Amino acid sequence: MALRDFNAWLGEFRESISSYNYYVDFEKVYRNVDKIKVELNILNSLIGEKDIEQKFLDLVSKYPEVLKCIPLLLAVRQQEIFAMDDKGSFKYSFKVQNVSPEQYSYFMTATGLYDLLSNHIINNLVDYVCGVEVGLDSNGRKNRGGHLMEDLVEEFIKETGKEYYKEMYLTDIEKKWGVDLSSVSSSGKATKRFDFVVKTENQIYVFETNFYASGGSKLNETSRSYKMLSQQIDGSEGVTFIWVTDGLGWKSARKNLEQTFEVMDTIFNIKELEDGILSEVLI
């Protein structure tokens, strides 16, 4: 492999790898709304009602299943909500009725939901909850972001045609191929899971992947720990550690990354994967 320049290598790092479905998983949003669509339509009858409290009590008496929708109207996923004021404290269950209908009605008043419905601030609860779900789904971007890099790297591994495994524990690697990784596991005291493991005729390659769009102290620790991990694995015959990382967040932690880069031949960025580096390395 040709000699690499750290500054040039770091200069290839990317701002983002976000795909179009990274921002909102609309399929998930629609699934969640469909689960309670009937109940939401029943609650729609409260919109614009002047005597909304009595109407609500009548609905809960006739259709108690509408209660399960209420937390989501407050953008809450849990089916139990704790609330307190000068009249006392209550833990409301919206899965199994645990307080009187009148207490649920008080909850609707105190949280502002009656005002939302009776004053026509919204016109349709199905549309409203769809918007709530979009907002809640934005919290899932962190998880989706973590998988974006894994998905990207997996495609390049597939292109090599090599045998590979996802999310494999160190102990499983030892058992499957009879290799000694005690230097990594502290003689079996620690567990470690690798994002990918590639098995070729002559070697086992264990992969870690990550992408950092923004900086932080975590990056320095990540760089140091992977440097140590690489050195530990170097002492294990037949096993090679590969780290694929990218993202402009590394600009704030470049010194620690450079130290790892200088001692680790198998640290790669996305550009190198695109240029076919894995086909050269996985032998």
Residue matched to tokens 């259709």: 63
- Residue 186, CB-side half-sphere exposure with 13 Å CA sphere: 5
- Is the pLDDT confidence value at 240 over 90? yes
Predicted pLDDT at 139: 74
Residue 214: pLDDT band with limits 50, 70, 90: confident
Predicted pLDDT at 140: 75
pLDDT tens digits for 66-115? 999 999 999 999 999 999 999 999 999 999 999 999 999 999 999 999 99
Predicted pLDDT at 205: 97
**Residues carrying CATH 3.40.1350, the chain:** 6-20+141-281
Pairing label, strands 80-85, 88-93: antiparallel
Give the containing element (helix H, strand E) for 209: strand 204-211
Mean pLDDT of the chain, nearest integer: 93
Average pLDDT value for residue range 169-189? 83
Average pLDDT value for residue range 58-63? 97
Higher pLDDT, 22 or 160: 160
Pairing label, strands 267-268, 80-85: unpaired
Nearest to 19 by CA among 138, 133, 156, 141: 141
Predicted pLDDT at 186: 61
- Is the pLDDT confidence value at 282 over 90? yes
pLDDT over 70 for what percent of the chain? 96
Predicted pLDDT at 190: 60
Answer whether 74's CB lies under 8 Å from 58's CB.
no
Which two three-digit tokens encode residue 110?
Answer: 């105190």
* Cα dist from 192 to 56, 139, 219, whole Å: 53, 27, 19
Average pLDDT value for residue range 33-57? 96
Residue matched to tokens 């992408």: 211
pLDDT tens digits for 126-151? 999 999 999 998 877 776 766 899 99
The listed CATH number (3.40.1350, 3.40.50, 1.10.287, 1.20.120) that belongs to domain 6-20+141-281: 3.40.1350
Q: How many residues does the structure list for the chain?
A: 283
CA distance linking residue 75 with residue 248, whole number of Å? 33
Higher pLDDT, 215 or 42: 42
Average pLDDT value for residue range 6-18? 95
Answer whether 173's CB lies under 8 Å from 209's CB.
no
Nearest to 194 by CA among 176, 208, 178, 204: 208
Residue matched to tokens 């701002």: 15
